[in-house]
Amino acid sequence: MSEEVLLEQTFPIAGSDFERGGEVASRVKAILRELGIAPELIRRLSIANFEAEMNVVMYADAGELRLEVLPAAVRVTVSDRGAGIPDIEWAMQPGNSTATEAMR
């Protein structure tokens, strides 16, 4: 059985485009408001969407955010293309960061 998708939209995200970083999250927030989604859910999704979008902007060549609104759920999937983290174990240690000085 497939899930009924009420709305599906994909938004491109450009890597290193700090000037436009956050625009996709804002657009998704506006769409969710227009659909009458609960404000608390919109707030939580907006924070997560912004963080995910900025990770693409900061660390990937490009990516996309895919929004799916279902009768009982909102699904957001963010994917990206880039070099990745060469040493994940190092990056997961407290105090280590892959952010450059310019990003901070």
**Residue owning tokens 């407290």:** 94
**How far out from the chain centre does Cα 23 lie?**
11
Q: Predicted confidence band at 8 (pLDDT cuts at 50, 70, 90)?
A: very high
Q: Predicted confidence band at 85 (pLDDT cuts at 50, 70, 90)?
A: confident
Strands of the sheet with 62-70, listed across from one edge: 7-14, 62-70, 73-81
Q: Predicted confidence band at 39 (pLDDT cuts at 50, 70, 90)?
A: very high
- With a threshold of 0.85, does the pTM exceed it? yes
Beta bridge pairs of residue 9: 67
